[in-house]
Amino acid sequence: MEILSIDSYSVSYDGSKNAVDAVSLSVAQGEILSIVGESGSGKSTLLHGILGLLPRGASTRGGMKLFGRDTSKMDDRARRELCGSRVSMIFQDTGHYMNPIARIGAQYDEFLRIHGMSDREQRRRLQRDMLLKLHLTDPERVLRAYPFELSGGMRQRVGIAMAMSLNPRLLLADEPTGALDVTVQAQVIRQMMELRESTGAAIVLVTHNIGVAAYLSDRIGVMQRGRLVELGPTREVIGHPRHAYTRGLLDAVVEIDDERLIASHG
Amino acid sequence: MAETLLELKGLTKTFPVGKRDVLRAVRGVDLALNPGECLGIVGESGCGKSTVARMIAQLTEVTDGHIYFEGRDVTRLSRPQRRELWRSVQMVFQDPYSVFSPRMTVGDFLTEGLVYFGLATRQQARGMLPELLGRVELPAELAQRLPHQLSGGQQQRVVIARALSIQPKLLILDEATSALDVSVQRQILKLLMRLKDEMNLTMLFIGHDLAVVRSVTDRIAVMYAGQLVEALPSAALRQEASHPYTRRLLESVFSTADRGRKQIGIEDLSQIEKGQMLEGCPYQPRCPEAMPRCADACPALAGMGPGHTVACHARKPGNAR
């Protein structure tokens, strides 16, 4: 079943230049799609457009269907009802959208309540279970903490726990590991794959880290200046890139087993 | 072999936490850097790698231990002495824009060092602009521009050009390419390698990206929670890395080649912050090979092979894993 389908979708911030330019793609249930590209390629704008988070003044064209329903003409309220607890988003730094003066537990609880979980005991249990699942072994301490008392990696895990709590059908992730240390990044990647396996959620991941995209995704899309220049199965895009830009991008990545750049020394 | 350019002996930096505790940001780091060598320091945020760099560049006071530059103790310097050292030690940071004065033209910015250190008059320095810019592969016209009119990659080139304008003996690069897009990053790395060869530069390259640091360095030092846990030739990193933390770092690298095949072990990350507060080995709370000893005493660096040292109770010289 198709979770998301986008047809010739464009976003413009200033009315003239397209930040996202006629992008078409679809995401099936249980599929992980990564969008890679350099800064300014429009990959984050595309993701924000899917969730309806574009700033006022941005104009969109083209079609978008979420769960089979056309969202391009929906107002905010209708879109919220459609997405509800079925679509979640993880941002680069979860800390940025947490309330700095409220304890993690209070924020997490409010989030679950708003999404219709009325049983208080059930909410508490779910919070603890999700944090444990994300390998935060002392969930009570985390829930009692204020956001600033946790490291960036722990905050990010809380954000991911929240986003995954309601078993979303679609998870949108915007550079979810961009600010994390490499060992923490590996853990977060692992958890996203676990979510897909245990719930069949579809994931759209935006990243500049091509190694991560190659590891995690079934398909990869490559964006350059707003256009989706290549889209295909990961093996194809990484192994046999068709577009010159993709080839350039892959060549630029410094890999751990690369010939070293260093010329001469002695 | 030429004399060591830079030597760190037991370099330590602590910060008080609350009334009784201390945070060991850097503890007892021993490192030496030979002229013409490029040494990398890798580690994750908070491991102390930037603090080491800042102490060398005299931007942070040393708590304990010594820094020797060309054999001279430069651990604690007076203002004029510090100024003299900066003539030889230059540093490049992650965010180039933050080093610029927004209203100063690229030309004025580039020539400031030459004039400040009395190496050229303002007039002479302006005459050197085409050469300074050319060295970092930028056109001379850029001298008239303001920093915001440059791309991130161009800005970082200008910052490098400025650091090199006074011909320092040591160039410290602290995450200097981390904020750049991959294609720009690769260009800057290549530029640095070319300059290193042409100017016989000695470099200290600090970063969190193992692949990037490895690609441009002769030797890599790995830091964890303030401690130097392993140092080895960059070319041998993948095969010979021996410390459990270095192995973990290597396993955490995502390469386009190993799509989906690699296993990622589960880790309890709530243990991470504790390392710097401990008496014993800082990695012990996370270490799969931890023994009772590890909680009691911090392991010292021991030789494993040529140019290879490891600080780990579970590793004995001669029987690397």
* Cross-chain CB nearest to A261 (options B193, B237, B256): B193
A145 touches chain B (CB under 8 A): no
pLDDT tens digits for range A151-203: 777 888 899 889 989 889 999 999 988 778 888 888 888 888 888 998 899 99
Query: CA A31, A189, A257: angle at the middle one, nearest 5?
Result: 105
A interface test, pick of B218, B267, B269, B276 with most A CB neighbours within 10 Å:
B269
Report CB contact under 8 Å: B266, A263.
no
DSSP track, B99-121: GS-TTS-HHHHHHHHHHHTTSS-
> Hey, are the CB atoms on A258 and B211 less than 8 Å from each other?
yes
The answer to whether residue A188 neighbours chain B at the CB level (below 8 Å) is: no
Contact list in B for residue A262 (CB cut-off 8 A) is 38, 193, 196, 215-218, 234
Q: How does residue A262 score in pLDDT terms, banded at 50, 70 and 90?
A: low
The enclosing H or E element of B152 equals helix B152-165
Distance CA B128, CA B165 (A): 9
Query: Which numeric CATH code is attached to B6-82+200-270+299-310?
Result: 3.40.50.300
Q: State pLDDT tens for residues A196-228.
A: 998 899 999 999 899 999 999 999 999 999 999
Strands B308-310 and B302-305 turn out to be antiparallel
Q: Any residues with CB less than 8 A from the CB of A24 and at least 6 apart, and which?
A: A6, A7, A8, A9, A62, A228
Min CA distance, B194 vs chain A (Å)? 8
**In a 3-state reduction of DSSP, which class is residue A25?**
strand
- Say yes or no to pLDDT of A229 above 60: yes
Q: DSSP of A88-99, one letter per residue?
A: EEE-S-GGGGS-
pLDDT of B205 over the 60 cut:
yes
Residue-wise pLDDT for A252-261, tens only, equals 999 888 776 7
Task: Evaluate if residue B23 carries a pLDDT over 60.
Answer: yes
Query: Beta strands B170-174 and B202-207: pairing type?
Result: parallel
User: A147 CB contacts (<8 Å, ≥6 apart)?
Assistant: A95, A98, A99, A100, A104, A155
Domains and CATH numbers, chain A: 2-86+168-252 (3.40.50.300), 98-167 (no CATH)
CA distance B11 to chain A (A): 24
**Cβ B260–A186 below 8 Å, yes or no?**
no
- Residues A90-131: pLDDT tens digits? 988 887 889 999 999 999 999 999 988 999 999 999 999 988
Q: Tens of pLDDT along B260-305?
A: 567 777 776 666 656 666 788 989 988 999 999 999 988 999 999 8
- Residue from A143, A224, A262 to probe the interface with B (highest B Cβ count within 10 Å): A262
CA-nearest residue to B255 within chain A is A211
Q: Specify the pTM.
A: 0.88
pLDDT greater than 90 at residue B164: yes
- Residues B75-123 have pLDDT tens digits of 999 999 999 999 999 999 999 999 999 999 999 999 999 999 999 999 9
Distance CA B1, CA A245 (A): 46
Asked whether residue A266 carries a pLDDT value surpassing 50, the answer given is: no
pLDDT of A265 higher than 50: no
Cα–Cα distance for residue pair B26/B56, rounded to 1 Å: 12
pLDDT one-digit tens code per residue, B209-242: 999 999 999 999 999 999 999 999 999 999 999 9
Q: How much is the mean pLDDT over chain A? A: 90
Cα A98–Cα A104–Cα A109 angle in degrees, nearest 5 = 100
Alpha-carbon gap: A87 to the closest alpha carbon of chain B (Å):
25
Tell me which chain A residues have a C-beta less than 8 angstroms from the C-beta of B36: 265-266
pLDDT for the residue numbered B321: 47
Burial of B23 by CB count in 10 Å (0-12 exposed, 13-18 middle, 19+ buried)? middle
Mutate to test the interface with A, among B245, B261, B264, B286 (most CBs of A within 10 A): B264
Residues of B in contact with A232 (CB under 8 A): none
